Amino acid sequence: MSNALVSNPGPVLRWSLLALFLAVVIGAGSIIGVNTAPGEWYANLNKPPFNPPNWIFAPVWFALYICIAIAGWRTFLRAPKSPAMCFWIAQMLLNWLWSPTFFVLQLIWPAFIVIFGVWLTIIGFIATSRQDDPFAGGLMVPYLAWVSFASVLNLSIGILN
């Protein structure tokens, strides 16, 4: 797709791209979430007292994935080859890598490295977006807060086990 088409798309293409971003982000996240659901291994781990109940993760991730998709869509429309878009893609790939690393491979410390990478790329996205599209950057702030919490949780589980 050429930059001219993306930088000034018609309404049909614009909304089609949003639908695509939502479908890919929510779809991939849901598939990964279902296939890496916490099992007996996770249930038997020592966890800190602030560990939330398992049921909270799906609705939180659904809401965050909507924000992440919209931020990516806006960035793609504005600047598909920008540093912000590179950070967005990187955070998404690392995001999708974390659950298989933690829950399937049961590698707590490598998962911590992955989630720290997610955290860094979210910060990179926010920093590179704030000038041109502060709304897109702002959409990622709740995600940064959640990943910060999840990082502390991952670290705590690593220390306790």
Residue pair 108/102 in contact by the 8 Å Cβ criterion: yes
pLDDT of residue 5: 47
Segment 95-103 mean pLDDT = 98
**Where would I find the H helices in 8-160?**
11-35, 40-43, 57-78, 83-99, 108-129, 134-139, 141-160
Query: 52 — alpha (psi -120 to 50), left (phi > 0) or beta?
Result: beta
Segment 111-138 mean pLDDT = 97
List, in order of start, the domains of the chain with CATH numbers: 3-160 (1.20.1260)
Output the average pLDDT for the chain.
94
pLDDT of residue 2: 44
Question: What pTM did the predictor assign?
Answer: 0.91
Cα(33)–Cα(74) distance, rounded to whole angstroms?
Answer: 25
Residue pair 147/115 in contact by the 8 Å Cβ criterion: yes
Tens digits of residue pLDDT in 67-93? 999 999 999 999 999 999 999 999 999
pLDDT of residue 8: 72
Task: Label residues 142-154 b or e (16+ Cβ within 10 Å = b).
Answer: ebbebbeebbebb
